[in-house]
Copies of this chain bind each other. A is one copy, B any other.
Amino acid sequence: MPILRQDITTRSWTIIATERAKRPHDFVKDQKEVLELPEYDPQCPFCPGNEHIAPPEVFSITGSDGRWKIRVVPNKFPALVKSQRSGERLRWRNGPYIEMPGEGIHEVVIECPQHSRTIATMDLAQVETVVTTYRERFLTIDSSATNQMIIIFRNQGEGAGTSLLHPHSQIVATPIVPVDVRRRLEEAQRYYDDNGTCVYCDIIRYEMSTKERLVESNHGFVVICPFASTVPFEMWILPIRHEASFGQLSDAEIPLLAHSLRSSLTRLHKLLGNPDYNYVVRSAPHYTAMEPHFHWHIQILPRLTKTAGFEIGSGMAINVTLPEEAASSLREVKVE
């Protein structure tokens, strides 16, 4: 019989449809679908030598050889654009509705010069550079109060919504706190009110003790398949130290996070043959960064199944893979 599981961080229910359960190999991509990319593609706007195609960079880290190791550029087709005004934010009525200008930030993190890499196949030092860059951009963007919410995300593969193959992440800052984010904060606050503890800290403690859904952990981070995983092989990377905002990531935690991120994505890469996925950094927004209720984390969502009308109509997910089995398969993958 299927089972309903509640995500206690959102009160959303997931249907775990065990009768429809698939084994990991059912999800493995056809070998012919796994693209073998060249190290360098002269047509790629993100490859070295084509720096002039993208808008001027806002951040970069250069190696001892004088070449860039990572670059951040404004998105050439931004969803939100930098405000030209100063001062107060603007909203207006349009009949019964409300509108505001699409002001914000939309940046692209070009993660490394090599066209063919992905987080799973970069060396650890390069993933540290990526994490460092995330934090630097987060802190800079967060220092302006008009950037209310910062979303860092990565789309891997066409099925995850990317058109450019060169390894990259994106950073968007919105001028409002999205209602979906606000609700996560409210649920965390409600849990804190009821229990006097952080819901994410409680999850970490419980998952570390049972180990059923634990994928791996180090001194700074724990990787789990969440209890109410919405998709097969969903993973959360959580800092063990309670921190509301991603901007609170410490220098000492950077290599530990880089290790967890690279290692968990390597497990996914090896187990399922380089599947498409999205990951998002879920952080407290600017104005609640100092509140004790939220706990930032990274959510990794492989794109192995399609959402359809039921998910749209209910907001509930149907997951065909038991999270305990996903975690067990991921744990068994050998990583360096």
Q: Which residues of A are in contact with B by a Cβ distance under 8 Å?
A: 1-6, 8, 10-13, 15-17, 19-20, 77-81, 94-103, 149, 151-155, 159-162, 170, 172, 174-176, 178-181, 183, 199, 202-203, 206, 210, 227-228, 278-282, 299, 301, 306-310, 312-316, 318
Contact = CB atoms under 8 A, between A and B. Distances in A.
Contact of A20 (B77, B96, B206, B315): B77
Nearest to A206: B95
Given A20-B77, A99-B3, A315 B179 contact: yes
Contact of A151 (B19, B160, B281, B313): B313
Contacts of A281: 313
Nearest to A230: B312
Nearest to A282: B313
A315 B178 contact: yes
A94 B5 CA distance: 10
Contact of A313 (B162, B210, B280): B280
Contacts of A12: 178-180
B203 A155 contact: no
A312 B15 contact: no
B202 A314 contact: no
Given A10-B179, A20-B79, 7 more contacts: A11-B179, A96-B199, A151-B314, A155-B309, A178-B315, A183-B183, A278-B309
A162 B308 CA distance: 8
27 contacts: A1-B103, A2-B101, A3-B100, A4-B101, A4-B176, A6-B98, A6-B99, A8-B98, A13-B174, A15-B79, A17-B102, A19-B78, A20-B77, A20-B79, A79-B318, A95-B206, A96-B202, A96-B203, A149-B314, A151-B310, A152-B313, A153-B308, A155-B309, A160-B306, A172-B310, A180-B316, A279-B309
